[in-house]
């Protein structure tokens, strides 16, 4: 007993009272080049440990900016240990080699990557691409903490499951429909003080509302229906089978009732980008945020 409380109870109070979860958008873009929006990436930082979801082009630079802006050492590239991939489309993985290669010779811990079947093959290609560089750095002419840390530890899966649990953060992958690419995953992340769901790229699916039910934050991709309507029938069909329209996302939000619905991977075509927010708000009364790179929640 201490101050009238059993020691085990004090431990529980300490974890819940001091845990803090930050959600930071490192990239809110799409395959369409946009200087204001890096490739898809979301960071969840819990007690100075970073958990990164996707690493589209520009993600590493955004992580450095976030580390400085928010004083979060966990987002310095060599401190990032955990990376989760939703799928293997280029706009979600182009900065994986950048992250793995940045100062790898100074890493204290090996990068761990969790993702769909095919992730290891992708990483093997990165090893081949940088073999001249890594061989030179391992030649004994510069200090290297661990000669194998240019490589990542890869865990692959094809079906939804709990893929990570370090006693503080639990990450559950769940299958989502994303056109012809399979498998593709969304992620439900449970921390001591928040539940965050990240959709990845997906068409409408009932499982999203189930996984996001009561979540504090739902980070979800979206298509403007105004913009979609201006495309040819082929592209309307193509995108509708791969992404979630504003009315369908409003439907998910009405069922799930997340604390905040954060819009990312924003496809709007020739419509104003704000159209995604106004279209959803016309059908859903909860909090809707048009996400921008480096937004923090």
Cβ pair 218, 181 in contact under 8 A: no
Half-sphere exposure (CA, 13 Å, Cβ side) for 293? 25
| Mean pLDDT value of segment 243-247 | 98
pLDDT of residue 3 exceeding 80, the answer is no
Of 91, 60, 58, 50, the residue nearest 201 (C-alpha): 91
Say yes or no to pLDDT of 6 above 90. no
The three-state secondary structure class of 237 is: helix
How does the average pLDDT of the chain come out, rounded?
94
Confidence of residue 19 (pLDDT cuts 50, 70, 90): low
What is the mean pLDDT of the segment spanning 138-167?
A: 96
Considering the domain 21-290, what is its CATH architecture?
A: 4-Layer Sandwich (3.60)
pLDDT in tens, 155-207: 999 999 999 999 999 999 999 999 999 999 999 999 999 999 999 999 999 99
**Tens digit of each residue's pLDDT (9 = 90 or more) over 78-116:** 999 999 999 999 999 999 999 999 999 999 999 999 999
Sign of the torsion formed by the C-alpha atoms of 26, 182, 234 and 254: negative
State how far the alpha carbon of 295 is from the alpha carbons of 56, 75, 84, 118, 213, in Å: 16, 14, 20, 31, 23
CB 84, CB 205: distance < 8 Å = no
Count other C-beta atoms under 10 Å from residue 232's C-beta. 8
CB 241 within 8 A of CB 179: yes
pLDDT, residue 141, reads: 86
pLDDT of residue 268: 96
Q: Residue 59: which residues within 8 A CB-CB, separation 6 or more? A: 26, 27, 38, 39, 41, 52, 95, 98, 99
């Amino acid at each position: 007993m201490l101050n009238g409380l059993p020691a085990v109870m004090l431990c529980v109070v300490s974890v819940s009272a001091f845990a803090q979860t930050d959600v930071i958008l490192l990239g809110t873009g799409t395959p369409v080049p946009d200087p204001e929006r890096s490739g898809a990436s979301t960071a969840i930082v819990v007690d100075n440990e970073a958990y990164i979801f996707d690493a589209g082009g520009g993600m590493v630079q955004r992580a450095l900016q976030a580390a400085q802006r928010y004083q979060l050492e966990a987002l310095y590239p060599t401190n990032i240990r955990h990376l989760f991939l939703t799928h293997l489309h280029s706009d979600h993985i182009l900065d994986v080699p950048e992250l793995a290669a940045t100062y790898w010779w100074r890493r204290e811990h090996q990068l761990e990557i969790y993702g769909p079947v095919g992730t290891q093959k992708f990483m093997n290609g990165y090893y081949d691409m940088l073999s001249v560089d890594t061989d030179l750095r391992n030649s004994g002419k510069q200090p290297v903490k661990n000669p194998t840390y240019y490589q990542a530890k890869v865990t692959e899966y094809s079906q939804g499951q709990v893929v990570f649990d370090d006693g503080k953060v639990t990450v559950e992958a769940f299958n989502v429909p994303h056109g012809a690419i399979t498998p593709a995953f969304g992620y439900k992340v449970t921390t001591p003080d928040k539940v965050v769901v990240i959709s990845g790229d997906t068409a409408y699916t009932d499982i999203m509302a189930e996984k996001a039910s009561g979540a504090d934050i739902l980070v979800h991709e979206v298509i403007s229906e105004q913009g979609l309507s201006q495309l040819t029938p082929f592209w309307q069909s193509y995108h509708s089978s791969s992404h979630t329209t504003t009315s369908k996302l409003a439907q998910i939000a009405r069922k799930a009732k997340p604390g905040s619905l954060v819009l990312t991977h924003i496809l709007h075509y020739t419509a104003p980008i704000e159209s995604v927010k106004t279209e959803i708000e016309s059908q859903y009364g909860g909090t809707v945020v048009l996400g921008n790179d480096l937004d923090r929640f």
